[in-house]
């Protein structure tokens, strides 16, 4: 049995682990925006501002709008080549 304090400790470990994972994800998205070649230079500036100023929410939006779409496009190209 963990008891009340042990259960609270486990809860905080899970919360801190999730926050660390979100921070790493946020940094990865900032790096991706900075390295990606966009069709227009203004798009890169806008996405950097979105990810930096909106934090985790901005990183999640960027992931689904740009990065995920790009990954799906590359996967489709690879499957056509085979």
The per-residue pLDDT string of the chain (82 residues; one tens digit each, 9 = 90 and over) reads 556 667 788 888 999 999 999 999 999 999 999 999 998 989 999 999 999 999 999 999 999 998 888 877 777 666 666 5
How far apart, in whole angstroms, are the C-alpha atoms of residue 56 and residue 81? 36
Kindly provide the b/e burial profile for residues 36-62, where b requires at least 16 CB atoms within 10 angstroms of the residue's own CB: eeeeeeeebeebbebbeeeeeebbbeb
Give me 67's structure tokens.
């990065």
Cβ(52)–Cβ(30) below 8 Å: yes
Q: What pLDDT is recorded for position 79?
A: 62
Q: What pLDDT is recorded for position 71?
A: 77
- Whole-model pTM: value is 0.76
């Amino acid at each position: 049995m963990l008891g009340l304090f042990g259960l609270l400790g486990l809860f905080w470990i899970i919360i801190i682990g999730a926050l660390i994972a979100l921070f790493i994800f946020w940094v990865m998205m900032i790096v991706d925006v900075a390295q990606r070649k966009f069709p227009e230079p203004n798009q890169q500036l806008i996405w950097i501002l979105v990810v930096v100023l909106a934090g985790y929410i901005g990183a999640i939006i960027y992931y689904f709008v740009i990065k995920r779409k790009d990954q799906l496009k590359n996967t489709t190209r690879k499957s056509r080549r085979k």
